[in-house]
Structure 1
Amino acid sequence: MMISFSKSWLNKGVFVLSLSLGLLIAACAPPTKPVDLERAEAAVEQVQTDPNVTQYVPVRLDEAKEALQRAQVAWEKDESTEEVEHLAYLAQRRAAIAEVAAAEKAAQAEIKNLGQERQQMLMEVRELEARQAREQAKMAEARTRELEQRLAELDAEKTKRGYVLTLGDILFEVDRAELTPGGMQNLFRLVTFLKEYPDREVVIEGHTDSTGSAVYNQELSQRRADSVYKFLMNNGISPERIVARGYGEAYPVAPNDTAAGRQRNRRVEIVILGAGERAKEYQRPG
């Protein structure tokens, strides 16, 4: 009976001792960190690793870190749960604000960078266009010099109507429309020129002196102009590029009261038009 009583008290003592030790251990264990505080710490840590945050909004990052530190201090001082949660919430919000602000700044920087790149591209394009324009101007100038040289070789005279190549009376059979060998030789050079410059068209004008009837002179001037027309066409120049007109005695270049003057008036003028001008639309100025 005595032994049973002792065991009962012994078991109770062990239980009490175990309970006391458990309470003591629980009292000594560190308190569990609030979930809101852990979230705030994670949020601040995340924004700290964002290069946009550190580059564009370091002040916002400092504000988030400062708010987190206040929340941590409040928890360590065992302030009220509401206070800790409030401060942790502020830290999370400031971390989120820092992240959003950094994203906006990064986007603005990207837009600015794209604008600068676009401006640079525009400048490069304009420089390229200017360089091409200069090169084209040089090429055009070179072509103009070459054209003038070729026209000079044809003995063409520069006038208000364009360049004019004159075939004198001696390049035709007397009182006839047939070309002499010398006239053909001159026209072969013109054929070569027109083939080299396919954008050029010509107007062939026949002229006479005032000797004889006006009707006959007009007919002779037209036949001579037609003779030149046919020669050019037969040597590969498109008839679309040629117009032949006879003016008779209408446009003298010298008085008809001397033999020398009359000889100058008996002529065929070939007007070499400018680039883009059309022979069929050409009107001789009065």
Structure 2
Amino acid sequence: MKNTWLIALGLVPVLAGCSVFESNVVPPSPALTGVNAQNAAWQSQIQRVQDGDARFAPLEDARAALAEAEAQPQVADYAADELAGAHTAFEQAEQGWQALAGKRRPASDALGEVAEQAHRAQRLAEIARYTAIREINLETLIAVNDRLKARAAEQPTPATASASASGARDVRPVAKADQALVGQQVVPDRFGGVSFETGTARMKTESQAVVRQLAELLKAHPTVGVAIFGHTDSVGPSPESIDRFVAANPGLEKQAPTREDKVRAFNLALSAARARAVAQQLVENGIPARRIGARGFGDTRPVASNDTAEGRRANRRIEAVIVPGPDSPQAQRARAGS
């Protein structure tokens, strides 16, 4: 089914100009300056253990990260490529270390090569694990949001005018105030829309103020999270853009897609890249990445007809919905197994 590669493609940041969200979750490998400092640092990472064996700390860190990634449920579903890359890098690092482990003082440049592969393995393993966690959580958040929307459609929001008119002070606990926000679509409904340069994930300058307002709201309500949903209209990009997109994704061409398939794949990837760009901006504004989910839906959830310019403008949108966060009562009960 072509839907399979459409879904897989939506999980990978492939468009030029989009921000790679994982870089905000996984720290880069440490950078050392100065040859002497670097040499000393590599040598200090060697740990002599029982029976004269030696261990190299970067390799052990990578081994632990890989074990955690493999233990993460559904990691193979959401981050198979990253996990495979982690395995490859780890095997190369381990082979390099085996060639050096018996030496009393291995050459620093050789240690550096092993460390580089080990750091790459660790980063890819952590990216794979975090990606799976985020995707699993986001599936839950989407389901919660759908239920909340359905409930809101059936039940009117309780009136609060009398309390406001009397000047009564709101003495509810912070968690309750946070929970009152859950289910609200604050972008575009509350703060306005987020727009991008045509065919890219580069946010327009004026839209950054919207993201800052959203960040301030999240800071003021620490137990909630936010789900960022990207949507496009059904119109495809120029033939040149399609060609560049396919060239950047060689696996797509192997599926022998029609032009319509290519347009849908492009729109799906673009919407995901835009959602991640908003998430990136939130992180840069001080919101922990674990409180943010980002997903693109392409042109699959229109709110207006794509036959008119006005309808297409309405369909090109970012939605930000407040959802229970990782520190919410719901999440705490789930962790406790209740």
**TM-score in same-fold range (> 0.5):** no
Taking CA–CA contacts closer than 8 Å with sequence separation of 6 or more, which of the two structures ends up with the larger relative contact order?
Answer: 2
Larger radius of gyration: 1
Class of the TM-score when normalised by the shorter of the 2 chains: 0.3 to 0.5
